[in-house]
Structure 1
Amino acid sequence: MKRFWAATSAVPEGSDFAIRLDSRPLKLPSGRALTVPFEPLAAAIATEWATVGTNFTPDDLPLTRLATTAQDRVRLHRAEIAGQLAAYGMNDLLCYRAEGPPGLARREAEEWDPWIGWLDQRLGIRLKSTSGVMPLQQAPEYRDTFTTCLMQMDEYQLAGLGVIVPALGSLVLALAVEAGALDPDTACRCAGLGELWQETHWGMDAEAAARRRIIAEDVAVSACFMVLCRA
């Protein structure tokens, strides 16, 4: 896509805030003008469009993309999306531990057990863990508890979690990021513990490192989005 505007602004529109490209409203793919109920988010989206280059793609506008997802998808399918995210919690990354070497297993326990405990304190869910890849059967009622927690969030928080949860492979870590208990960089390092351990002992895998950088960027932007949607 090619830039056609010179200036951007965020302006009040009823109880919401609209984004203008020069004097034109920024529109969603559906054709409806984009408005958001959070002034900081509107300002950040306006800045995003102000700083984009002459030629750009939707990937250059992650906050806009998340707001669009919240309004055009999550708002219409909240229960379905909450259920999909809850399923991650029933097979959370933190539940599947390395069988060895002992140093890695010990590191996973040190890094992951506190978040299993955090989840228990927050939601009364005490997830079981195992060594290896055979699937665990968690208590069936945990799915309902996860779903209830997620359904209490608005479409904007769910849109952010919709990126963070699959990126990390962990609903537990994602909920901690959403709650402000865990910063995005630490969450990514925690989720990538196995790869980082291997690189420490066997050298860097350039492809894996590049993938982790992309994940870290996506998680950071999504966490920022959720913060902007609390103001």
Structure 2
Amino acid sequence: MKIENKTGAPPLLPRRFYKNVQVAPVAGESAGSAATAPAAAGEIVAEIAMEQAACPHFTILLDGRPVKTPARRPLIVPCRALAELIAEEFRAQENTVNPALMPVNRLANTVIDGLSANQQPVREDILRYSAGDMVFYRADSPRELAEKQAQGWDKVLDWAWEIMEAEFQAGTGVMFISQKPEALAAVSAYLRQRLSPATACTPFALAALHVMTCVSGSALLAFMVESGALAVREAWQLAQIEEDWTMAQWGQDAEAAQRRAGRERDFYAAAAVLTALKAE
């Protein structure tokens, strides 16, 4: 039922939760000046205040106050582009803050509060996914689904062989497919090569890669996006081949659609983090 506005007053617009969202470098006088810069009087929409100082780390100021993680650590990231992504998420908050709609901020919190101090479990989890990657397991029927999987996923295996020299086996059914130790060793070597522990960006890139792997069920698809071999949109479509086919046959309920939208949001956000880290 539509409720008419009989007061004659203009409809209420969503209120930005934060009036001022600033990205500020963390160092010396430039960081101090960014933190104390006053907001324009009466400003309602959030704005990004960018400092031009040469500084490798950045934080976000919300109405002049620096953001902290759930563990009360300063939220500091290694590049401007990543800070901008987080700031944009804060800018989009209306009336209340919804962490579910802030996947980049959640990823940064995870890195700062835990992953940065111990990366090895996350690396090992990615390697576990690669040993049982989604693209190895195909349907034997119906024929249409099997053909879609072969058309989309065979090129992923071809890429793994061409780039990693990892020869993987695909099959039908749900039984575990044992892969050659040489193939798994090649993936481990590739991961070490792509994500060196020596850089400040590494924990963030590792976290983004892990999110994409877990959301899609495929470490290989995540590797292809990270390397630039596959666009994020195509990677997401390849990850959803079976679900899309099932949905086309039987439809999709609202709850399933909501879960999928959340996974897609996280997948695209993680890919955006990888792009931001390479932009500096």
What is the TM-score normalised by the length of structure 1?
0.90
**Do structure 1's residue 12 and structure 2's residue 53 form an aligned pair?**
no
**Do structure 1's residue 83 and structure 2's residue 124 form an aligned pair?**
yes
Change (3 A) 1:121 1:87: same
Spell out the pairing of 1:127-146 with structure 2 (5 A cutoff).
127-146=168-187
Displacement after TM superposition at 1:125 (Å): 0.6
Q: Alpha-carbon deviations, 1:62-98, whole Å to 9, x = none?
A: 2111111122222122111101111111111111111
Between the aligned partners of 1:228 and 1:108, the Cα distance in structure 2 is: 31
Give me the identity figure in percent.
Answer: 31
- Which structure carries more helix by proportion? 1
Between the aligned partners of 1:208 and 1:6, the Cα distance in structure 2 is: 35
Please state whether the residue corresponding to 1:216 is helix, strand or coil: helix
**Do structure 1's residue 204 and structure 2's residue 231 form an aligned pair?**
no
Q: Match of 1:124?
A: 165
Task: List runs of 5+ in structure 1 lacking aligned partners.
Answer: none
Q: Match of 1:47?
A: 88
What is the TM-score normalised by the length of structure 2?
0.76
Displacement after TM superposition at 1:211 (Å): 3.2
Displacement after TM superposition at 1:149 (Å): 2.7
Change (3 A) 1:103 1:60: closer
Q: Alpha-carbon deviations, 1:125-167, whole Å to 9, x = none?
A: 1110111111111012333332333344211111112211111
Q: Alpha-carbon deviations, 1:2-46, whole Å to 9, x = none?
A: x87421111111331121112211112222211111111112222
Change (3 A) 1:5 1:196: closer
- How many residue pairs were aligned? 229
Q: Alpha-carbon deviations, 1:190-215, whole Å to 9, x = none?
A: 12212222333x24122544433322
Change (3 A) 1:26 1:142: same
Between the aligned partners of 1:50 and 1:182, the Cα distance in structure 2 is: 30
Between the aligned partners of 1:30 and 1:148, the Cα distance in structure 2 is: 33
CA contact (8 A) 2:17 2:93 kept: no
Q: Match of 2:227?
A: 179
Displacement after TM superposition at 1:57 (Å): 2.5
Compare 146-155 and 92-101 and name the one that shifted more. Answer: 146-155
Greater radius of gyration (CA): 2
Amino acid at match of 2:131: M
Task: List runs of 5+ in structure 2 lacking aligned partners.
Answer: 1-15, 28-55, 196-201
Q: Match of 1:71?
A: 112
Spell out the pairing of 1:151-230 with structure 2 (5 A cutoff).
151=192, 152-153=194-195, 154-200=202-248, 202-206=249-253, 207-230=255-278
